Structure 1
Amino acid sequence: MTGADGRFTEAAMWQALANISDQLGVVDADARLLRLTNNAVFALPTAGLVVRITRTHRLHSRVYKVAALGVWFEDVDAPTIRLAPGVDQPVADGGLLATVWRFVAPHEPPPDAGDLGVALRAFHSLGTPPLNLPAWDPIGDARSRLDDAEGLADGDRDYLLAWCDRLEPRLQAFAASVEPGLVHGDAHEGNLLRVGSGRVLMCDFDATCIGPWQVDLVPPPANEARFGSTGGHSKLAAAYGYDITQDSSWHLLQEARELKMIAAAVPLLASAPGVGEEFQLRLRSVRTGDTNARWTAFGDLPR
């Protein structure tokens, strides 16, 4: 059973969790849904597990990638969450795939951008894993979101595709000029967990790839430029030891980030309340060069 966006509904994902729990031989009356995006993420605190189930068949390659990364993270003692022991990964339920992780109870204080800088520096120092990871390809990702998207006007599609065409060779030239390394791909405070020892661990490796390390430092300052300053960028720069806004690649990478933040709305235009208006505001501000317009995070839009 799928919703209007082509992804499996919440009810279907709860049923998949029940089936996977049966396979694992676990029962957890306290199971709760943590997130429902490209994945349905469930916490089973009594069983000590977190189950991430992909909601679309199109992302199955990511599940195998993430499972392989989880094994490598354990081998190198990466600053990351760990796969559940004794489970063949990924776990299949019919046409759905899941990865199963050890549950980490969050501890105070919540991780901030300074913690992100420390975690990223350790993550980037791991080196390149002996895995066939995808190359960093922000334009390919943007184009995939634009393909056959419902609710996208032809004029807007044409503008975004032309933007992709203009930006792609510049990003390719930049990537070729930098020694490639491990890139988290979605590094922000929401993908950090603090454990009882105080150590902060990274999670959510769907976008992890091989590319320029600089791209992991871009979201905080790029977000502050559009959503308003939070002080996160200065904390990140101090903790990591590098200010990406002083890098010669900054404006190029900022533009790539803004394209991503606009293209991310496209699959939601036909189904999510308020996204259409926010999409138009973002697109209009870029097209007119309006750097004063303030964007609103999709998660903060009225439902």
Structure 2
Amino acid sequence: MRTDEAVRVATLAGARVGMPVDDAQVLRVGENGVVLLSGVGVLVRVVPRAGAVQRVRLEIAVAEWLASQGVPVARPVRSEPIVVDQHVVSLWEYLPGGHSADLVTLARCLRLLHGVPRPVGLLTRVSPFSRLREQLASAVGLDERDRAFLREFRDGLAVQWDHATFALGEAVLHGDAHMENLLVTTAGRCAFIDLESVCVGPPEWDLTLSALYYECGWFSEHEYAMFADSYGYDVRCSPAWPVLRQIRMLRMTLWLAQSADNDTPRRQQLRHRLDSLRDGSAPAGWTGF
């Protein structure tokens, strides 16, 4: 979404609940927008889809439940979303000085998260292929040959997923567990953010991103070994590892395809990812954005 749109919607939502909005400051825009109201220490998250009310309401409820279980999370400051035009807005506490956690901290917090009792009726089961059809349809920089390849790739992985064997049982998952989704403040407080993917499923799903990022060369061997040791399990030993890593690579490729239209480095990296998925060399040469 656009920066000016995020500010306008955040300002209207804040004013509607009586918050000062003169100091609205955009922190991030993409598929959604994040705006800071620094005067009251509130983050305004803007989702540009009016039909997302139930999903945002669930994310708020999940955050409140996780906090009650002692899981470190960013907490909502309002229990109901606000609808502004065709946007759904939620209000969250701001964590001053928050920066991405290191891998050891991520591993320890994931152990804590995966150890909480599974709630009845609150969470859905992990859906590895959620939204991939929509992303494939809306992706830029893909020709029909690319789309056909990715559809076939996805369908084959779906069959493998249905027959996969997992070693760690079932747990509450973050769903998108990487260092940028766990903040650490200057005071030492940890907090999981972006809770819209929290679900129930095999813990291996949450461990796969860090292992795959290591394979991409984004972490050193020592850093990844510390992550696996701190959690107590190396997901690369899982019998499901081959399908887990390929699903994550597919998702990473389609994520990049959403924003590669007018960006030459992104288009080049997207083309490399597609070629390497085809020839089996992925994720060699994958860079982050």
Q: TM-score, normalised by structure 2?
A: 0.90
Tell me which residue corresponds to 2:207. Answer: 217
Q: Using the aligned pairs only, state the percent identity.
A: 25
Once the two structures are superposed, the pairs formed by residues 250-265 of structure 1 within 5 Å of their partners are 250-265=241-256
In the TM superposition, residue 60 of structure 1 has moved relative to its aligned partner by 4.1
Kindly provide the CA deviation profile for residues 187-230 of structure 1, in whole angstroms up to 9, marking residues without a partner as x: 11111222455231111112222211111111112012124433
The reply on whether 1:203 has 2:196 as its aligned counterpart is no
The reply on whether 1:43 has 2:33 as its aligned counterpart is no
Once the two structures are superposed, the pairs formed by residues 137-148 of structure 1 within 5 Å of their partners are 137-148=127-138
Distance in 1 between residues matched to 2:163 and 2:109, nearest whole Å: 28
Residue number among 107, 121, 127 corresponding to 1:117 in the alignment: 107
In the TM superposition, residue 122 of structure 1 has moved relative to its aligned partner by 0.9
Distance in 1 between residues matched to 2:223 and 2:171, nearest whole Å: 24
The reply on whether 1:23 has 2:16 as its aligned counterpart is yes
In the TM superposition, residue 167 of structure 1 has moved relative to its aligned partner by 0.7
Distance in 1 between residues matched to 2:32 and 2:195, nearest whole Å: 12
Moved more, 161-170 or 66-75: 66-75
Count of aligned pairs between the two proteins: 288
The reply on whether 1:128 has 2:121 as its aligned counterpart is no
Work out whether residues 6 and 26 of structure 2, in 8 Å CA contact, stay in contact via their aligned partners in 1: no
Work out whether residues 178 and 212 of structure 1, in 8 Å CA contact, stay in contact via their aligned partners in 2: yes
In the TM superposition, residue 53 of structure 1 has moved relative to its aligned partner by 0.9
Kindly provide the CA deviation profile for residues 244-267 of structure 1, in whole angstroms up to 9, marking residues without a partner as x: 112222222111111111121232
The reply on whether 1:162 has 2:152 as its aligned counterpart is yes
Residue number among 4, 23, 26 corresponding to 1:11 in the alignment: 4
Tell me which residue corresponds to 1:99. Answer: 90
Q: TM-score, normalised by structure 1?
A: 0.86
> Residue 184 of structure 2 aligns to which amino acid in structure 1?
R
Kindly provide the CA deviation profile for residues 103-122 of structure 1, in whole angstroms up to 9, marking residues without a partner as x: 111268x5201110111111
> Residue 275 of structure 2 aligns to which amino acid in structure 1?
R
The reply on whether 1:182 has 2:143 as its aligned counterpart is no
What is the aligned-residue RMSD (CA, Å)?
A: 2.3
Change (3 A) 1:17 1:195: same
> Residue 97 of structure 1 aligns to which amino acid in structure 2?
V
Tell me which residue corresponds to 2:229. Answer: 238
Secondary structure of 1:46's aligned partner: coil
Work out whether residues 143 and 164 of structure 1, in 8 Å CA contact, stay in contact via their aligned partners in 2: no
Moved more, 219-228 or 156-165: 219-228
Unaligned runs of 5+ in 2: none
Secondary structure of 1:43's aligned partner: strand
Unaligned runs of 5+ in 1: 1-7
Distance in 1 between residues matched to 2:138 and 2:26, nearest whole Å: 30
Moved more, 240-249 or 224-233: 224-233
